[in-house]
Amino acid sequence: MIRVLGIETSCDETAASVVALEGTSAPEILSPKILSNVVLSQIAEHAAFGGVVPEIAARAHVEALDGIIEAALADSNTSLDEIDAIAATAGPGLVGGLIVGLMTAKAIAGAAGKPLLAINHLEGHALTARLTDGLSFPYLLLLVSGGHTQIVRVAGVGDYQRWATTIDDALGEAFDKTAKMLGLPYPGGPNVEKAAAKGDPARFAFPRPMKGSAQPDFSFSGLKTAVRQAAQAIAPLTEQDVADICASFQAAVADALADRVSRALMRFKVEFPQEEQPALVVAGGVAANRMIKTTLEELCDETGFRFVAPPLKLCTDNAAMIAWAGIERLNAGFEEENAFDFVPRSRWPLDVVSAPVIGSGRRGAKA
């Protein structure tokens, strides 16, 4: 049995998890088990600021991480001696938090004489569906979160190709900024969705960014500007105005996503004609939005794709996906002998082959 302790501190969740897999066979054959998954959210610490404050996040990680790791080991009924390796998020993310998590992992691994794996946070998201659904390679990944909006072809552990990314804002960021403009509390995504449930999605004719464009990428900056202009035009806003803006914004997002994703589904079928039922995996916190999820499920039904969305607790930031990515890398022979020398990376693109564009992980852009 392989047991890996995972540590995640890339943003505003402090998390640790123990994941196990019997033997080294593919997860389609053996059932991996999440023995523990402890997540401490910092939403309360950042709510007053309308977003994550990096310095506050890093300090909170320092204060909480030791206790979170102890809880994960206790919940899994596993001692440190029984752990086979330590896996920690090493990027991309807020560098202060990454330093806290990776340095803690280095200290534990060094003191206990365990292998250390420096994990790309995006790879954790990319491989989660193999942990939860036993999915085989290849498949298509739509990653939609506060910091990332990408479509990635996942052909194997370490074999990723980015097919599309955002050229400006990530979708989760657009939700958060829309909420802030409308006076809704942080985090923006759930509160925009809650308000939208009472609104009229047809009241405001917001643009569908990039819809119909041959370029495969996403864009949400113009939509965010349209929301601001609509709100300013009818200020002061009533509760119904806010609900209608949220509903119209959400409808525009769903339409734009469906258009972008449909192109990727067609390309996947062309490149992998042998796949009888290809799969679209949706991960990231925005995947919790019911309208977006329903729209993508309907698109998959129309195109013959299997729709896979891991449980919400494994779509948002968590350490189980990091521990699982560590197991996958160990099984694939990617154990990193130099991980103790690894420096945390605030930008770390999952795909290092595709030409850099805004949003791909280049310094100064979204990772």
pLDDT digits (tens, 9 = 90+) for 119-170: 999 999 999 999 999 999 999 999 998 788 999 999 999 999 999 999 999 9
193 annotated binding-site participant: yes
Name the pLDDT band for 106 (thresholds 50, 70, 90).
Answer: very high
CATH number of 2-132+313-341: 3.30.420.40
Q: Contact, 165 vs 357, CB < 8 A?
A: yes
Residue 365 has pLDDT above 60, yes or no: no
Name the pLDDT band for 214 (thresholds 50, 70, 90).
Answer: confident
Asked whether this chain's domains 2-132+313-341 and 138-311 adopt the same fold, the reply is yes
What is the widest separation between alpha-carbon atoms in the chain? Answer: 63
Q: Contact, 209 vs 258, CB < 8 A?
A: no
125 annotated binding-site participant: yes
Residue-range domain boundaries for the chain = 2-132+313-341, 138-311
Q: Is CATH 3.30.420.40 the classification given to domain 138-311?
A: yes
pLDDT digits (tens, 9 = 90+) for 224-264: 999 999 999 999 999 999 999 999 999 999 999 999 999 99
Length of the chain: 367
Question: C-alpha distances in angstroms, 271 versus 115, 147, 274, 275, 354?
Answer: 37, 28, 9, 10, 17
Q: In this predicted structure, what is the pLDDT of residue 360?
A: 41
Q: Work out the number of other CB atoms within 10 angstroms of the CB of residue 332.
A: 13
Question: C-alpha distances in angstroms, 257 versus 223, 254, 304, 356, 364?
Answer: 13, 5, 18, 22, 25
121 annotated binding-site participant: yes
Top-confidence residue, 356 or 330: 330
Name the pLDDT band for 49 (thresholds 50, 70, 90).
Answer: confident
pLDDT averaged over every residue in the chain: 92
| Paired tokens of 47 | 């709510």
136 annotated binding-site participant: no
123 annotated binding-site participant: no
6 annotated binding-site participant: no
94 annotated binding-site participant: no
pLDDT digits (tens, 9 = 90+) for 22-32: 865 555 556 89
116 annotated binding-site participant: no
